[in-house]
Chain A
Amino acid sequence: MQQYIKKDNYETVQLDHEWIIMNTDHFTVTKLNDIGGFCWSLLENPQSTEALTQSVKVQFHLDNLNLSIHIEDFLRELMEYGLIQHAV
Chain B
Amino acid sequence: MYNLHFTIGEHHFFIKTPSIKIKEFFRHNYLLQNPTNSTSDLAIYIEDGYGLPFIDYEVSVIKTHNEIIYKRADYLIKLDHSYNNAYLFIHDELALKHALMNLYSSYIVQQNWGLLIHSSCVINNGMAHIFSGHSGAGKSTVARLSSPRELLADEATIVKITSNDVVVFDSPFRSELNGKCFPSPYKLESIHLLNQSLSNSRERLTRGNSLIQLMDTVFYWTESSTDARKIFKLLHLLVNQVPVYDLYFQKNNTFWEMIS
Contacts and interface: CB of A to CB of B under 8 A. Distances in A.
B208 A16 contact: yes
Contacts of B141: none
Given A16-B206, A18-B206, A11 B229 contact: yes
B208 A15 contact: yes
Contacts, number: 43
A29 B211 contact: yes
Contacts of B229: 11, 22, 24
Interface residues of A, number: 14
A15 B212 contact: no
Contacts of B233: 11
Interface string A1-45: 000000001010101101110101101010100000000000000
B212 A31 contact: yes
The interface centre, meaning the residue of A11, A18, A20 with most chain B CB atoms within 10 A of its CB, is A20
Interface string A49-80: 00000000000000000000000000000000
Contacts of B91: none
Interface string B210-227: 011001000000000100
Interface residues of B, number: 14
Per DSSP, chain B at the interface is helix
Given A11-B233, A13-B236, A15-B207, A24 B225 contact: yes
A2 to B, nearest CB: 27
A16 to B, nearest CB: 6
Contacts of A19: 208
Given A15-B207, A18-B208, A20-B208, A25 B225 contact: yes
Nearest to A26: B228
B206 A15 contact: yes
A58 B20 CA distance: 72
Interface of B: 206-209, 211-212, 215, 225, 228-229, 232-233, 236, 239
Given A15-B211, A16-B208, A18-B209, 5 more contacts: A13-B211, A22-B232, A24-B228, A31-B208, A31-B209
